[in-house]
Amino acid sequence: MSDGGDIADTATGKRLVDLAVDTYGKLDVLVNVAGILRDKMIFNLDDEDWDAVIRVHLRGHFSTIKPAAAYWRQQRNPDGHYRIINFTSDSALQGSPGQPNYAAAKMGIIGLTASVANALGRYGVTANAIAPGAATRLTATIPQDKKLGADRPATDDSRSPDNIAPIVSYLASEASDWLSGRTLGAAGYGVTLWNNPEVRASISSEGPWDPEDLARQVEKEFRPLAEGLHPSIFMAQVPK
């Protein structure tokens, strides 16, 4: 079965959830993978291209998660083994310089995933995100000289979407009950677990900050940990 509706339209999301329940008698797993690209550097990005990418990715996830969450809440089954599997991207996690709209949307999905994991755990739902690395119709729109791994031979199957399926299958299974609110990476023949954001260092004052004292403490405590751009697979694309 398929539905050609606009995934960012909430009516489409509800229709898809209702269709699954009507057809199979229940809903156990929701996978959100729809997406588009409108790549440009931030100084050249049109308003319409920003809005379109944010809408499809973020509202597209919301449109299906909301009715699925309502359905699972109605079940009142803390042992339901229900699953939400969202798709994020290394573009968000590592800052692709030519994809500000896509990176923002995909980082938003990580926040959305964490939120619904915390909100829905009592109803037997886990929610996790996957950052995939694969050659698809989506990545086919990227110019060849901008693609990561563009030097791989055409016969190399490490970029096949088939390599992402096993971790999706695992997350959809009852065996993954222990994992929720996390971001995984899957590319080639490897799977990674990303850290959730965490505090690396902190400073404090006994009262309102004196700007010069604040500057001294920031330099002393933060600079050794954070000077310069963070390491990224996109460093070769950063303008010099």
pLDDT at 153 over 60: no
Tens of pLDDT, residues 59-84? 999 999 999 999 999 999 999 999 99
Higher per-residue pLDDT: 13 or 240: 13
pLDDT at 148: 53
169 is catalytic: no
Statement: residue 104 has pLDDT above 80: yes
Active site residue 102: yes
Greater pLDDT, 42 or 233: 42
Neighbours of 20 (CB within 10 A): 20
Percent of the chain residues topping a pLDDT of 70: 91
Per DSSP, the residues of the chain read ----S-TTSHHHHHHHHHHHHHHHSS--EEEE---------GGG--HHHHHHHHIIIIIHHHHHHHHHHHHHHHHT-TT--EEEEEE--HHHHHT-TT-HHHHHHHHHHHHHHHHHHHHHGGGTEEEEEEEEE---TTGGGS-GGGSTTTTS-TT-GGG-GGGTHHHHHHHHSGGGTT--S-EEEEETTEEEEPPPP--------SSSPPHHHHHHHHHHHTHHHH-SPPP-TTGGGS--
Catalytic status, residue 89? yes
Which pLDDT score is estimated for 1?
A: 73
Give the model's confidence band at 167: pLDDT under 50 very low, under 70 low, under 90 confident, else very high: very high
Q: Is residue 148 exposed (0-12), middle (13-18) or buried (19+ Cβ within 10 Å)? A: middle
C-alpha torsion 7→11→14→15, nearest 10: -90
Tens of pLDDT along 207-227? 999 999 999 999 999 999 999
Using the predicted structure, report yes or no on whether residue 157 has a pLDDT greater than 90: no
Q: Which of 63, 71, 82, 89 is an active site residue?
A: 89
Q: CA-CA distance, 205 to 214, in Å (whole number)?
A: 8
pLDDT per residue over 16-35, tens digit each? 999 999 999 999 999 999 99
